[in-house]
């Protein structure tokens, strides 16, 4: 069976890479993945999957960090101009862009779920001569947006697995769910799919990531530790404008408050029970050169190796914000726009992946577990499956990287796509083979 899977993957490699490049050209950020999701839905439908989108797989009220109506409409219009299928787009309404493909074999067996994140980042892609997507004409065609974390590769892996399922359906039992999740960046999307009941019947859950801490080509990491819990916060400060020369004493400087907050966030004392992080990613403010600035905005995040450490970082951040606002006489308003929790992979499932992955010819090195050292809202899905008595693990697929994740020059070795498909295919046939 391993030989059959390897042959099937070899036959689809070129088409999967082409699909990845298509997605890379038209990146869409969280809750605006109208084109991306419609192409996924078309692909799954053509293979005979039962396809669920929109309110079938997303609880709208559980979403976090949803763009405003203008941004959503602009994204929808752009998606249509770039070839999105209006049938699916209509079902996605105001950004309900999750897609789930279900293959029910009709035979008694377990339910397996594989999850793939699909959103891009707000980064302008590198246009340098050393950047492969630019040189080979598949770089982003949407200024300010880019697939800079490998999610375009994750989509291709998911569709490759879908094709394997379709080709091997008569050799499978139980039910296979392929979950394409929007809004992973900023930890905004997984909980809304969990609340929709997508995972209630799942016995085995798998997800994974290209690269991260696995940078050796075709290295397979069977589970991870150190999923950072994280909180994403938007802050608005309202001061008082005034003439910068004539009446500076009448103003209340929002940028000064924002600057103080930024510095003091980085000065939060470390926690003794786990590692922590804080990052101010965006700071904006002011009205003009000769005006005491009356408005400022910050976008920042906290992280911790446990939920408790992240909560400490969040609480300290809010305390600093309130104190600085009082000191400078400005009003403050904070909104939590994203949240992820920590989770633990099931060691028994990781051991099973190890035994399966070691038989995949492409595997250059196999590791039972290694630290993830970042946040992923897939943890909500993992915890739900485990709470229902199932098992979950998160894999890393090693790849050569042109630059680090969330960098404008990010790119990965596309050979990682067929490697990951083959690993997932062997897991599938081992757990659900008929």
Residue 296's pLDDT is 98
Query: Residue 270's domain spans which residues?
Result: 229-339
Same structural domain, 175 and 324: no
Last residue of some domain: 298, 318, 339? 339
Q: β-pairing, 50-53 with 111-117?
A: unpaired
How far apart are alpha carbons 310 and 325 in whole angstroms? 22
264-to-236, 278, 335 alpha-carbon distances in Å:
17, 11, 19
Same structural domain, 274 and 167: no
97 Cβ neighbours under 8 A, 6+ residues apart? 31, 32, 33, 34, 36, 37, 53, 58, 118, 182, 183
How far apart are alpha carbons 246 and 97 in whole angstroms? 52
Angle CA 350–430–41, to nearest 5: 90
Same structural domain, 295 and 347: no
pLDDT under 50: residue ranges of the chain:
none
Residue 324's pLDDT is 98
Question: What is the share, in percent, of the chain residues with pLDDT greater than 90?
Answer: 99
CATH of the domain at 264: 3.30.70.360
pTM: 0.96
Helix (H, G, I), strand (E, B) or coil at 130: coil
Contact yes or no for 271/313 (Cβ under 8 A):
yes
Enclosing H/E stretch for 390: none
Provide the number of structural domains found in the chain: 2
DSSP string, 401-420: EEE-TTSTT-EE-TTHHHHH
Residue 262's pLDDT is 98
| Residue 98 CA, distance from chain mean position | 12
How far apart are alpha carbons 99 and 118 in whole angstroms? 10
Contact yes or no for 316/233 (Cβ under 8 A):
no
Same structural domain, 29 and 15: yes
Same structural domain, 169 and 258: no
Same structural domain, 322 and 251: yes
Residue 1's pLDDT is 84
Contact yes or no for 232/336 (Cβ under 8 A):
yes
Helix (H, G, I), strand (E, B) or coil at 135: helix
Same structural domain, 234 and 201: no
Residue 395's pLDDT is 98
Last residue of some domain: 285, 312, 339? 339
Same structural domain, 294 and 194: no
Same structural domain, 148 and 291: no
Last residue of some domain: 339, 369, 393? 339
Same structural domain, 107 and 170: yes
CATH of the domain at 193: 3.40.630.10
How far apart are alpha carbons 127 and 135 in whole angstroms? 8
Same structural domain, 278 and 186: no
> Helical H runs in 82-184?
86-91, 132-135, 151-167
Same structural domain, 251 and 211: no
């Amino acid at each position: 069976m391993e030989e059959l899977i390897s042959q099937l993957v070899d036959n689809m490699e070129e088409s999967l890479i082409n699909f990845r490049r298509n997605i890379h050209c038209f990146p869409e950020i969280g809750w605006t993945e109208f084109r991306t999701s419609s192409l996924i839905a078309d692909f799954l439908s053509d293979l005979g999957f039962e396809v669920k989108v929109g309110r079938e797989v997303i609880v709208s009220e559980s979403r976090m960090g949803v763009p405003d109506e203008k941004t959503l409409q602009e994204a929808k219009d752009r998606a249509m101009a770039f070839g999105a299928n209006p049938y699916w787009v209509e079902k996605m309404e105001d950004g309900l862009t999750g897609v789930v493909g279900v293959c029910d074999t009709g035979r008694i067996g377990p339910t397996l779920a594989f999850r793939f994140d699909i959103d891009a980042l707000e980064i302008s892609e590198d246009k340098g001569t050393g950047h492969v997507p630019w040189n080979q004409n598949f770089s982003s065609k949407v200024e300010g947006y880019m697939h800079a974390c490998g999610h375009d590769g994750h989509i291709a892996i998911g569709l490759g697995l879908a094709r394997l399922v379709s080709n091997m359906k008569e050799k499978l039992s139980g039910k296979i769910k392929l979950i394409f999740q929007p809004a992973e960046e900023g930890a905004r999307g997984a909980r809304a799919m969990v609340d929709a009941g997508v995972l209630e019947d799942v016995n085995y859950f798998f997800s994974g990531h290209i690269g991260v801490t696995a940078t050796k080509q075709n290295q397979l990491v069977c589970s991870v530790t150190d999923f950072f819990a994280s909180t994403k916060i938007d802050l608005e400060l309202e001061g008082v404008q005034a003439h910068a020369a004539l009446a500076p004493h009448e103003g209340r400087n929002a940028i000064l408050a924002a600057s103080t907050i930024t510095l003091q966030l980085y000065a939060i004392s470390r926690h003794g029970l786990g590692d922590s992080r804080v990052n101010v990613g965006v700071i904006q403010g002011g009205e003009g050169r000769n005006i005491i600035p009356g408005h400022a905005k910050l976008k920042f995040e906290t992280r911790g190796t446990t939920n408790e450490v992240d909560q400490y970082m969040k609480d300290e951040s809010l305390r600093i914000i309130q104190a600085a606002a009082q000191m400078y006489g400005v009003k403050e308003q904070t909104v939590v726009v994203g949240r992820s929790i920590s989770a633990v992979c099931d060691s028994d499932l990781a051991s099973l992946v190890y035994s399966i992955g070691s038989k995949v010819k492409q595997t250059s090195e196999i590791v039972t577990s290694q630290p993830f050292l970042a946040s992923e809202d897939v943890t909500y899905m993992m915890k739900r499956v485990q709470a229902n008595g199932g098992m979950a693990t998160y894999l890393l697929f090693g790849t050569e990287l042109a630059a680090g994740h969330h960098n404008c020059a990010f790119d990965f070795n596309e050979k990682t796509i067929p490697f990951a498909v083959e690993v997932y295919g062997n897991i599938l046939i081992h757990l659900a083979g008929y």
